[in-house]
Structure 1
Amino acid sequence: MLASLSIKNYALIDYLEVSFQDGFSIITGETGAGKSILLGALGLILGKRADLSSLKIKDEKCVIEGEFLIDKFDLKSFFETNDLDFEKRTIIRREILPSGKSRAFINDTPTTLSVLTSLSDKLIDLHSQHQTLQLADNAFQFLVIDALAGNTKTLISFKKGLKIYKKLRKELVEIEKRQVEAQSQHDYNSFLLDELIEADFKENEQEFLEETLEKLNHVEEIKLLLTDAQNLVDLEDSGLSDALLNYVNIIQKLSKYGKTFEDLSYRISSLKIDFDDITKELENSNDGVDYSPQEIEKYNDRLQLLYNLQKKHQVATINELLEKKQILEIKVSAVENAEEIVKAKKIEILEVEKKLDKCSDILHHSRKKAIPELIKQLGILLKNLEMPNTSFKIDLIKGTAFFSNGKDELDFLISTNKGSNYETLKKIASGGEMSRIMLAVKSILCNYSNLPTIIFDEIDTGVSGEVSNRIAKVMLTMSKHMQVIAITHLPQIAAKGEYHYKVYKTDKNKQTLTNIKILSQEQRIQELAEMLSGKDIAETAIVHAKQLLDQEID
């Protein structure tokens, strides 16, 4: 329940703080006193968008803070899910900065407006006059029936499944779209892929081809250089081979004269081995290098094929060409396996669809069962609200398409007079009748929900006399299950509250300020008398006010 509300620097409010009680509270005040300002401030901590124009002093921040007692309302899981500290006395704070930015806090933890709105939906039903129009809204009508039917868990399950179902359907459309596009290019992609498969290029092949052709195109120069190198090695009496051998022998003879010469002997022996290996390899190379036009043509053709394919696929390396080949394999395979892919996705969709159908059936049957009970309870309440001839006809038809809450289509009709036709609420009900019907609906809902607080903003519009007493009785009954706060202009309703608050204006330092206070018994008499007869309070109005306060509700 709402335990307290403090407002600083908002509209006509400099600073005010007010505490609220459980049960049935009344708020009254002259037109223009600031009741709407109070509700506007409350709306901000319930997640409504902030407006810089609402700052009283433009260069100071506005702070609105509400304290809620929530220990009896099973909200711990919400706090855990949203990574918030759970406190039995939870404080919601909203700040509007002079820059126009706003901040929201739950128990001093910064939070988003979406989280704030989700929490406020579980704390307060703020019912303003225009919300009476919700009665004609199909979504609200379903909400009422589902509350009576106890469909909360089934609806959560259905909505989770529907989200998956829509995602899978979207994926199927995308797959089919891609396959249509792929099919149109399938023949060309297949040709490109076959071309690459036939070419059968290997990693690093380009370097091999380019090196081999470089060698074949300079074979005469290479053979000449190899021959010159060989002659230097084998030259009689002064060749490199004999000279190096003599050099090795000399060093070996020195090795017996110390460690230094021994190490040098080892190193020169190793050098001799390397030299002999190089000489042998050059001999083999010389023997293997021959001019061959056929070989040159073969490697040239292979390299040219590679260059042509690289140009066609707009790549620079053989590895990039191989990557293109893999992509083409995927595209071609996607088309060739299209039927299996689509079939698998449709089976997946069908499984989810079966679960949604099952949920829809459960929802339909529970709603069918709840509708007679709703009609019965509405009839009893509306009779007590001086609408004895009002009756409802609620048709529930199971459709074929999935909606956000099942497959049902709902037709909510009303007749306000005996023998008259059933019509939609918009067509047949007056403003006063709509207010009473909405009050009856809210009264029923409070028995099936765990909502802590409901605030009625002039739900008594368009009614007077005995109907006012009846409305007060309904709200008083509701207050046994939840905190009820009613803003009213009717003294008959105001007199039935357990607590009475007055919103009023004062002039201070050439400024008009809005404030609120709780009234004592004597102050209540004066307020009710003023509501009955105006500023010039007649003695009869005082007497009437006392009678209203003492009057028992039947």
Structure 2
Amino acid sequence: MLTSLSIKNYALIDNLQVNFNNGLSIITGETGAGKSILLGGLSLILGKRADLSSLKDATKKCIIEAVFKVSNYNLKALFEAEDFDYEPLTIIRREILPSGKSRAFVNDSPVNLSSLQLLGERLIDIHSQHQTLQLTSNDFQFQIIDALANNNQLLQNYNTDLKTFKTLKSELQELLNFQAEAIKEHDYNTFLLNELVEANLVEGEQQSLEEEYETLNNIEGIKEKLSESYQLLSEEQIGVLTTLTTIKNNLQNISVFSSKYNELFNRVNSSLIDLDDVFSEIDMLQDNLEADPNRLEEVDSKLKTLHNLMQKHVASDVSELIKIKNELEEKVSIAESLDASIEEKQLEIKDKINQLKNISKQISNKRLKVIPQLKEQLQSILHSLGMPNAQFKIDIFYNGETFFANGQDELSFLFSANKGGNFSELKKAASGGELSRIMLAIKSVLSNYIQLPTIMFDEIDTGVSGEISNKMGDIMLQMSKTMQVFSITHLPQIAAKGHSHFKVYKEDVNEVTQTNLVKLNHDERIVEIAQMLGGTEMSSSAIAHAKELLN
């Protein structure tokens, strides 16, 4: 519900501030007084693109602000999805700067126009004779039927399952695409994997193999050097061990005379122990060292294999080869298990299709049940609006195969305005004025079943007679019991039915024309309606008629 509107520096409006109530609000004014300006400012709040030419004073910014009571509109999910701050009293503000830039805010948080448009569609529905294309939309026609059929929960369940179904189909396609690629690569990947498996890769083995290769390849030289070292250590007369033992004994004999000698003794003794270990190690190495041409050839072959594999896979060491082997194992395994995954995904899709068909059939059955009721209600309203021969031919065809956004039905929504006339699509069968009355009838019916946003009827009564306009006013008045309704009208019969009455007028202030909007009291309403009946020269009969209409 729109509770207040403030417009500053927009077109012919200098500074306008007005509060609105619920129920039916009437807006009247002479042609050219600025009703279109008022709607233009309001449309900016709903997300329409701004125009620098709209500024009244090009040196100042234009500010349009509207306050909406949104607690009954179930908008928390939309606010969360669009990252708006939710407030039961929501403030929307648009600013047009002299530079031409435009800014939009919801509860003081900046928002983009697309998000503002989504919110605006849920807050105000501006309807005029020129805005009836929605009527001819198949989606809108389904919304009418589903509102009467109370299909909201079923449609939510259907949309949830449809989203899952589309995700499953996408996942299946990915698996099939992957399988197609995997089949091409499977044989080659298997070949590469077998090469790496046959290589018996072991973390860190390359270094040990290289050391073994160098040992086996230089065994004679190694044996010679070990033997020479052994001799130098073990020679009885001049061997290093013999000499070092003599030094140790000498120092031991004098170690009691000074701590310095004792320290030298300990150091030599420690060296002797280490050297004795070296000697034992050399002795053991000599014993274990044998030429083995077969092992040398085996190690050389393994190293060449490793080097070839590293070059082939652009790897720096064996650990990288092992990592590549693991990746190939995974690819080969996935390729070999894809059939099972695809079959599992296909079963999931089959189950989801059954669920969707079950829900869509329930939706379709409920739609079929309410169509006679919808036709009767619409035709009854249109008959009272001067279209006595109006008839609808509404048929639902259950497709059963294709999943649309709102079920599996196809809809034929045909209309005939004349007795004996052929049924055809609304846009072909109805004139602009007829479409306008059809939209009023539809909105009237919908208001009994769902919470509609604030609706603003912009001169949809143009060209209708007083009797029909009276019925139009009754319909708007009935709608206003459950929602906020505005009617911009030139007809006194409608104007008299409002709970509130606002007048748009122009005035010259300091030789500058301005547009204003003022709420009329009871006496002012009598004058306004009398002028609508008889012009500016009000007769006593016009005033009496105005009072009669208001009463």
Q: TM-score, normalised by structure 2?
A: 0.88
- Deviation track 1:429-471 (CA, whole Å, cap 9, x = no partner) reads 1111110010000011111112352112222244343222221
Q: Do the aligned partners of residues 357 and 97 (structure 1) sit closer, same or farther apart at CA in structure 2, a change above 3 Å counting? A: farther
**Which amino acid is 2:133 matched to?**
L
Conserved? CA contact 1:2–1:67, under 8 Å? yes
Q: Do the aligned partners of residues 225 and 427 (structure 1) sit closer, same or farther apart at CA in structure 2, a change above 3 Å counting? A: same
2:388 is paired with a residue whose SS is: coil
CA distance in 1, matches of 2:156, 2:517: 41
The equivalent residue for 1:516 is 517
Deviation at 1:223, TM superposition (A): 3.6
CA distance in 2, matches of 1:210, 1:450: 83
Q: Trace 1:134-173 onto structure 2 (pairs within 5 A).
A: 134-173=134-173
The equivalent residue for 1:284 is 284
Q: What's the % identity of the aligned pairs?
A: 51
Q: Do the aligned partners of residues 226 and 160 (structure 1) sit closer, same or farther apart at CA in structure 2, a change above 3 Å counting? A: same
- Deviation track 1:142-198 (CA, whole Å, cap 9, x = no partner) reads 001111111111111111111111111111111111211221232222222222222
Q: Do the aligned partners of residues 92 and 263 (structure 1) sit closer, same or farther apart at CA in structure 2, a change above 3 Å counting? A: farther
The equivalent residue for 1:544 is 542
Q: Do the aligned partners of residues 256 and 490 (structure 1) sit closer, same or farther apart at CA in structure 2, a change above 3 Å counting? A: farther
Q: Trace 1:454-465 onto structure 2 (pairs within 5 A).
A: 454-465=455-466
Conserved? CA contact 1:189–1:328, under 8 Å? yes
CA distance in 2, matches of 1:546, 1:188: 99
CA distance in 2, matches of 1:354, 1:244: 96
Conserved? CA contact 1:371–1:394, under 8 Å? yes
Deviation at 1:289, TM superposition (A): 4.2
Deviation at 1:335, TM superposition (A): 2.9
Q: Do the aligned partners of residues 310 and 372 (structure 1) sit closer, same or farther apart at CA in structure 2, a change above 3 Å counting? A: same
Q: Do the aligned partners of residues 218 and 30 (structure 1) sit closer, same or farther apart at CA in structure 2, a change above 3 Å counting? A: farther
The equivalent residue for 1:501 is 502
The equivalent residue for 2:439 is 438
Moved more, 258-267 or 444-453: 258-267
2:131 is paired with a residue whose SS is: helix
Moved more, 193-202 or 438-447: 193-202
The equivalent residue for 2:197 is 197
2:315 is paired with a residue whose SS is: coil
CA distance in 1, matches of 2:119, 2:266: 87
Deviation at 1:350, TM superposition (A): 1.7
Is 1:318 aligned to 2:318, yes or no? yes
Moved more, 408-417 or 494-503: 494-503
1:551 is paired with a residue whose SS is: helix
CA distance in 2, matches of 1:131, 1:265: 114
- Deviation track 1:456-512 (CA, whole Å, cap 9, x = no partner) reads 222224434322222112111111221111122334333332322223344456654
2:27 is paired with a residue whose SS is: strand
Conserved? CA contact 1:435–1:461, under 8 Å? no
Deviation at 1:338, TM superposition (A): 2.5
Q: Do the aligned partners of residues 425 and 81 (structure 1) sit closer, same or farther apart at CA in structure 2, a change above 3 Å counting? A: closer
The equivalent residue for 2:377 is 377
2:490 is paired with a residue whose SS is: coil
CA distance in 2, matches of 1:251, 1:550: 141
1:401 is paired with a residue whose SS is: coil
CA distance in 2, matches of 1:104, 1:440: 34
The equivalent residue for 2:131 is 131
Q: Do the aligned partners of residues 316 and 119 (structure 1) sit closer, same or farther apart at CA in structure 2, a change above 3 Å counting? A: same
1:201 is paired with a residue whose SS is: coil
Q: Trace 1:147-546 onto structure 2 (pairs within 5 A).
A: 147-245=147-245, 272-399=272-399, 400-508=401-509, 511-528=512-529, 531=532, 537-540=536-539, 543-544=541-542
* Alignment gaps of 5+ in structure 1: none
Conserved? CA contact 1:464–1:490, under 8 Å? no
2:421 is paired with a residue whose SS is: coil
Moved more, 27-36 or 258-267: 258-267
Conserved? CA contact 2:530–2:546, under 8 Å? no
* Alignment gaps of 5+ in structure 2: none
Deviation at 1:26, TM superposition (A): 1.4
1:449 is paired with a residue whose SS is: coil
CA distance in 1, matches of 2:252, 2:122: 100
**Which amino acid is 1:472 matched to?**
G
Conserved? CA contact 2:390–2:416, under 8 Å? yes
1:406 is paired with a residue whose SS is: coil
Conserved? CA contact 1:496–1:549, under 8 Å? no
CA distance in 2, matches of 1:388, 1:258: 137
**Which amino acid is 1:391 matched to?**
Q
CA distance in 2, matches of 1:274, 1:99: 90
Q: TM-score, normalised by structure 1?
A: 0.88
Deviation at 1:258, TM superposition (A): 10
- Deviation track 1:490-547 (CA, whole Å, cap 9, x = no partner) reads 343333323222233444566544332223445445544555566xx2345x743652
Deviation at 1:348, TM superposition (A): 1.3
Deviation at 1:42, TM superposition (A): 2.2
Q: Do the aligned partners of residues 39 and 288 (structure 1) sit closer, same or farther apart at CA in structure 2, a change above 3 Å counting? A: farther
Conserved? CA contact 1:70–1:90, under 8 Å? yes
Q: Do the aligned partners of residues 212 and 483 (structure 1) sit closer, same or farther apart at CA in structure 2, a change above 3 Å counting? A: same
